[in-house]
Amino acid sequence: MEALIKDMQSDEAHPARPVLVISNRPEALGLKRAKSLGVHAICIDHKDYKNREEFEKAVQSKLIEHEAELVCLAGFMRILTPYFTAHWIGRMINIHPSLLPKHKGLNTHQRAIDSGDKIHGASVHWVNAELDAGAVIKQHHIQIDKDDNAESLKQKVLKIEHPLYCQALKSVAAELLNIKIRQ
């Protein structure tokens, strides 16, 4: 999230601007970081809602209120319902620490090692109703070394995730802007 905000703010020609950061956890460091970068940031605690759909309606309401046109998930560790994903189809992206479609879900680094993979990496993808199943927008791979473990692999992937996500956001936002201009 912080890398995306800084990238958007450092490039006047960037086709996107941050309008809102939402976390479902009040203690999330991202809320403080976003505010320190001048971006409106709020917590919508999922524990305050009776079910997932009510929580997502609250999130949806805030996104609409702030006129968000594109949603970038970053560290948001909740599975979104079809209600929410349907509204944002073609306008919501996520980064995942694997070379999708391999290793969807959690523990990707250990799973890559356990599978005997020689390469691993990160993928930015469109979000749809199925977990980590949207079309891949951009990927970057790294070599898995013989002495890698889940933690060392995680650190290698983290180094490529920030620039990858920034590049993907820039290209997606430019394309959405072009579509909007043509309409």
- Is residue 14 part of the annotated active site? The answer reads no
Quote the tokens at residue 4. Answer: 């995306």
pTM for this prediction: 0.94
CA angle 144, 147, 151 (to 5 degrees): 75
**Which of these is catalytic: 14, 40, 66, 96?**
96
Please state, in angstroms and rounded to a whole number, the distance separating the CA atoms of residues 48 and 142.
40
Mean pLDDT of the chain: 96
Q: pLDDT at position 75, please?
A: 86
- In this structure, CATH architecture of domain 2-182: 3-Layer(aba) Sandwich (3.40)
Which residues in the chain come in under a pLDDT of 50?
A: none
